[in-house]
Structure 1
Amino acid sequence: MIDNLPKKSDFDRITEWVFDLDNTLYPRHTDLFSQIDRNMTDYVSTLLRLPREEARELQKQYYRDHGTTLNGLMNLHNIDPNDFLEKVHDIDYSWVKPDPALGEAIRTLPGRKFIFTNGDLGHAQRTARALGILDHFDEIFDILAAGLTPKPARQTYDLFLEQHGVHSEQAVMFEDLPRNLVVPKDLGMATVLVVPHNLDQALGEAWEHDGREGEHIDYVTDNLADFLGHYLSVAAD
């Protein structure tokens, strides 16, 4: 396991717990986001009448350059975001298994808990429900609440903080993408990077892992439930 674990004093100030959704609240090897990824490739292929291989390459370029594939398609092709979100999230959620240890850890955390996702509300709810953790969150801040501007844009984090009255110095953010932790760190939040078990980079784009060693990352873990459980155990001492 990869962990640099927090001491009790590290999180004494934390009253706001902010979690990314995909590949963070469930492990990257779960066959969930891979379904969304395939659906996005299909969407680009159909929209632009491209062979699937070319569509996937373009999809990843939009993702890298615009924050999300959706944002790139909106900026360059003026698509209907609701149509896109409905089609790409038409997936089988039975691959997501309940995670009682994670649920108990999140339930026990002191303060408010949020899901902050570049996906939409329905997807976040279905995923969290399948994990058995939905009822432990106070709010979900999705891409529509963000005005369709995805992380890592600074304005999206500012909007989240403003809408929910979150004081950044009292917050910690959990994310699987290093670049999405740059702004939270600048805002004064504690940051936790959730990485795949054994750092299997084949399960994602190589550039997604850029910045993993950056100073904007306070902690790294490949097991979110264990990380939170450790904090709760030392906080109880």
Structure 2
Amino acid sequence: MTEPADEPRLLTIANRFAHVDTWVFDLDNTLYPASSDLWPKIDHRITLFMIRLFGLDGMSSRALQKHYYKHYGTTLRGLMTEHGVDADAFLKFVHDIDRSSLPPNHSLAAAIAALPGRKLILTNGSREHALDTAKQLAIDHIFEDVFDIVAADFIAKPHEGAYERFFDRHAIEPKRSALFEDIARNLIIPHARGMTTVLVTPEAGHEEKRESWEIAHGREPHVDFTTNDLAGFLEGLTATSQPQ
């Protein structure tokens, strides 16, 4: 959690990011808060897709869904590998959700825009979902590009190949980059490659909506910083450099 801090501590944190010229953000439950209903809607549609695909009951479909997710990084990768499911049909179906409940986040937009350097989205979802969601948040104009699951050849975070493709596609120097993510295991490879890592946790008073094995609290060695207020954390990185 981001705690109130005096100016020396803020300067210390900001100095840890002074070398960063590329800012990379996960999408779901990171750029929008975990308290939003967007991820539960997507999660439900994944289960529904599997019910229709296999003719299983909801409980069995969900168990299989989570098995593939844990083993492959995404349910889609498991379905493609073991059942030859068409990726485009899956992505269109599961991301066909109502985003109107998500309000624009002008504070976040200003905080990201103030960061020096490039800004990119790295997601296991689709490019269209990322763009539609970023537009709903009123932050779509800030990002240089979106690197999605298709661009990664359907190799999902946390697997090393996803990051290697991302680094190559966008000519990224990991040691000059920072990654903001809501799932701790997705920070293991980036941290090993030299990225500064930030775990984004649910806001105070909101419970985790992830699987129990996904939940982390920022004490892992591959997590450099933890915050439950992304906009506030980013504002702190640039406020110390502003003239008083």
TM-score (norm 1): 0.96
Please tell me the residue identity of whatever aligns with 2:138.
Answer: G
Q: Give 1 or 2: higher helix fraction.
A: 1
- The answer as to whether partners of 2:208 and 2:215 remain within 8 angstroms in 1 is no
Work out the CA distance in 2 between the residues paired with 1:81 and 1:212: 33
Runs of 4+ residues deviating >2 angstroms? 1-8, 198-202
Query: Quick check: 1:180 aligned with 2:181?
Result: no
- The answer as to whether partners of 2:14 and 2:236 remain within 8 angstroms in 1 is no
Work out the CA distance in 2 between the residues paired with 1:162 and 1:123: 23
**Identical counterparts, % of pairs:** 41
- The answer as to whether partners of 1:176 and 1:193 remain within 8 angstroms in 2 is yes
Work out the CA distance in 2 between the residues paired with 1:199 and 1:116: 27
- The Cα of 1:91 is off from its aligned counterpart by 0.3
- The Cα of 1:200 is off from its aligned counterpart by 4.5
Alignment partner, residue 69 of structure 1: 75
Q: Which 5+ residue runs of structure 2 have no aligned equivalent?
A: none
Alignment partner, residue 160 of structure 2: 154
- The Cα of 1:64 is off from its aligned counterpart by 0.8
- The Cα of 1:156 is off from its aligned counterpart by 1.0
Work out the CA distance in 2 between the residues paired with 1:235 and 1:58: 49
The partner residue of 1:189 within 192, 195, 207 is 195
- The answer as to whether partners of 1:173 and 1:191 remain within 8 angstroms in 2 is yes
The partner residue of 1:103 within 109, 114, 125 is 109
- The answer as to whether partners of 1:179 and 1:211 remain within 8 angstroms in 2 is no
Structure 1 residues 59 and 120 mapped into 2: Cα distance closer, same or farther (>3 Å)?
Answer: same
Alignment partner, residue 14 of structure 1: 20
Alignment partner, residue 231 of structure 1: 237
- The Cα of 1:7 is off from its aligned counterpart by 2.2
Alignment partner, residue 204 of structure 2: 198
Work out the CA distance in 1 between the residues paired with 2:72 and 2:156: 8
Work out the CA distance in 2 between the residues paired with 1:102 and 1:84: 30
TM-score (norm 2): 0.93
**Deviations along 1:76-127, whole A, 9 cap, x unmatched?**
1110000000100110010111000000011111000000000001000000
Please tell me the residue identity of whatever aligns with 1:108.
Answer: A
Please tell me the residue identity of whatever aligns with 2:55.
Answer: R
Matches for 1:108-187 after TM superposition, within 5 Å: 108-187=114-193
Query: Quick check: 1:215 aligned with 2:213?
Result: no
**Deviations along 1:118-143, whole A, 9 cap, x unmatched?**
00010000000000000000111011
Question: Bigger shift: 190-199 or 61-70?
Answer: 190-199
Alignment partner, residue 35 of structure 2: 29
Q: Cα RMSD between the aligned structures?
A: 1.5
